[in-house]
């Protein structure tokens, strides 16, 4: 009697990339469709008689050199978009870091000291409502140079959400935590690192995430009115002065993409640092 032998089952191909793509496919389609519709409508309006703004096709045709060669450097301010954005990001990084350090420090001080809070809150509420552009002439008059003036504009714009959210986070620490600290007789250092910072961290990250967007907006505004410096803001103003509207539109797209990436980075950092129960 002959026994039929089973053929070995063919191993199923486990492609992690394809599986991930299939999972993310439903999330990719809606924004892709929305972008396609937006570009289509934009192009249709650009073809209307009397339209003054170029459509997406013309923008690509006019700026293909900037798109495909973003790293060129001819000296001075004649640089590709990569170097323009890189110069702006460097200014944002410097001032944003300083704003984070000062904002978190002052926010903690105000949060734990009610007298300081009552004294400084009206001043902070007054200053935080001043638009970034309004700080430009003051910073130029005080600092006399474009670079430090631009850094100051970013700093003074970004500090307020960090400061205010940190102060709110400190004041919102549950009383039970403070009671436990008293029972355990924690030192100020132990209370700071084991109670205050962990409890206020979600509020601090909220302020940091808002501030990074404001800092990116502020540097664009500052660079537009500060002539002669490398940066995406001055690139926009220079392109407008030369009537290169397509270059202005392309720069706006890059600004939006960089702003989105900065926000996503802060969200990723928040998810990485915060405990699961605080997210």
Minimum mean pLDDT range among 44-48, 102-106, 114-118, 274-278:
274-278
Q: What is the pLDDT of residue 100?
A: 94
First to last CA, the chain: 67
Please compute the mean of the pLDDT values over residues 114-138 and round it to a whole number: 84
- Residue 190: partners with Cβ closer than 8 Å, 6 or more residues away: 181
Q: What is the pLDDT of residue 163?
A: 93
Q: For residue range 146-201, list pLDDT tens digits in order.
A: 888 889 999 999 999 999 999 988 888 777 777 777 777 777 777 777 778 888 88
pTM: 0.80
Write a three-state SS string for the chain: CCCCCCCCCCCCCCCHHHHHHHHHHHHHHHHHHHHHHHHHHHHHHHHCCCCCCCCHHHHHHHHHHHHHCCCCECCCCCECHHHHHHHHHHHHHHHHHHHHHHHHHHHHHHHHCHHHHHHHHHHHHHHHCCCHHHHHHHHHHHHCCHHHHHHHHHHHHHHHHHHHHHHHHHHCCCHHHHHHHHHHCCCHHHHHHHHHHHHHHHHHHHHHHHHHHHHHHHHHHHHHHCCCCCCHHHHHHHHHHCCCHHHHHHHHHHHHHHHHHHHHHHHHHHHHHCCHHHC
**Cα 229–235–238 angle (5° rounding)?**
95
For 45, 53, 101, 257, the CA distances from 58, given in Å and listed in that order, are 13, 10, 45, 20
Q: For residue range 239-279, list pLDDT tens digits in order.
A: 888 888 899 999 999 999 999 999 999 888 888 887 665 55
Domain chopping of the chain, boundaries:
76-273
28 φ, ψ to 5°?
-80, -35
Q: For residue range 38-52, list pLDDT tens digits in order.
A: 888 888 888 888 778
Name the CATH code of domain 76-273 (choices 3.10.310.70, 1.10.10.10, 3.40.50.720, 1.10.3720.10).
Answer: 1.10.3720.10
* pLDDT over 80 at 21, yes or no: no
Q: For residue range 211-224, list pLDDT tens digits in order.
A: 999 999 888 888 88
């Amino acid at each position: 009697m002959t026994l039929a032998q089973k053929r070995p089952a063919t191993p199923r191909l486990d492609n992690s990339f394809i599986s991930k793509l299939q999972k993310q496919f439903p999330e990719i389609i809606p924004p892709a469709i929305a972008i396609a519709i937006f570009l289509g409508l934009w192009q249709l309006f650009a073809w209307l008689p009397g339209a003054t703004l170029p459509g997406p096709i013309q923008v690509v045709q006019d700026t293909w050199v900037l798109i495909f060669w973003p790293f060129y450097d001819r000296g001075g301010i004649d640089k590709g978009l990569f170097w323009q954005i890189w110069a702006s990001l460097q200014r944002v990084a410097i001032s944003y870091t300083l704003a984070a350090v000062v904002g978190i420090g002052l926010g903690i001080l105000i949060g734990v000291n009610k007298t300081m809070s009552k004294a400084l809150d009206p001043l902070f509420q007054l200053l935080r409502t001043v638009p970034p552009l309004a700080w430009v002439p003051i910073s130029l008059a005080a600092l006399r140079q474009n670079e430090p003036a631009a850094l100051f504009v970013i700093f003074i714009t970004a500090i307020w959400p960090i400061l205010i959210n940190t102060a709110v986070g400190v004041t919102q620490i549950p009383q039970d935590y403070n009671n436990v600290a008293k029972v355990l007789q924690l030192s100020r250092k132990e209370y700071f690192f084991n109670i205050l910072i962990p409890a206020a961290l979600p509020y601090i990250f909220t302020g940091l995430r808002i501030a990074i967007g404001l800092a990116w907006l502020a540097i664009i505004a500052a660079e537009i009115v500060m002539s002669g410096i490398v940066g995406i803001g001055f690139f926009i103003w220079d392109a407008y002065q030369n009537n290169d509207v397509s270059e202005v539109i392309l720069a706006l797209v890059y600004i939006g993409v960089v702003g989105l990436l900065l926000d996503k980075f802060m969200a990723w950092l928040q998810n990485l640092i915060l405990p699961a129960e605080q997210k």
